[in-house]
Amino acid sequence: MRRHCPSVPAFGFETIPGLPVALTLADTEHYSAGLAYRIGIVNLQANYSYNRAKDVPARSLAALLHASHPYSLAEVGAAIQATPADVFEITGINRNVRGADDSTWGIQAGYDHFLSKRTSLCVRAGYMKNHGEATTSWPFVSVKAKGTSQTLAVLGMTHRF
């Protein structure tokens, strides 16, 4: 049994330099499910997650920014082992914030060619479209405006140590 003092809420606080008081954070619930299934040379994958704020305090940062809407993220994809050295991949994604004009869909395709057990070359191409207030992006890519689209092109090499 979790016990706490009645004067101390069960959620956390964030202290940001320059603000006169600490901001109250919302408690959240996270639900997720995933599935992967192999059919011959094809590996199918799916993932779904649903996240929502729980008991949002009236003066919390989430309430003040109107950011306590639940959201879901759905992903489906396939990886095809065409040869022992070549893998083709395709993935689709959909992010939806309930109660807000904020959604994103995207698609990404890729190819990996293994030069050895530890070294591979890779190519990726993708497209992501944000709608409404959405600012979703690929990792390490910043979005300049809400509701914009992004195109991704990557050439790379991976070596596993």
* 141 or 22: which leads in pLDDT: 141
Domain ranges of the chain: 30-159
Going by pLDDT thresholds of 50, 70 and 90, the confidence category of residue 27 is confident
What is the model's pLDDT at position 2?
Answer: 39
* pLDDT at position 69: 84
Q: State residue 58's pLDDT score.
A: 72
Torsion sign over Cα 134, 136, 137, 142: positive
| Banded model confidence at residue 3, pLDDT cuts 50, 70, 90 | very low
Helix (H, G, I), strand (E, B) or coil at 63: helix
The fold of 30-159 is Porin (2.40.160)
- How far from the centroid of its chain's Cα atoms is residue 108's Cα? 14
Extended beta strands in the chain, E state: 13-14, 23-24, 27-39, 42-54, 71-83, 86-97, 102-114, 119-132, 149-159
Mean pLDDT of 98-121: 94
Predicted local distance difference test score (pLDDT) of residue 12: 65
Q: What is the pLDDT of residues 65-88, one digit of tens each?
A: 766 788 999 999 999 999 999 999
> For a pLDDT cut of 90, what percent of the chain falls above it?
55
- Dihedral (C-alpha) 139, 144, 148, 153: value to the nearest 10 degrees? -40
pLDDT at 24: 66
34 falls in which pLDDT band (50, 70, 90)?
A: very high
Q: With H, G, I as helix, E, B as strand and everything else as coil, classify residue 64.
A: helix
Identify the pLDDT of residue 116. 96
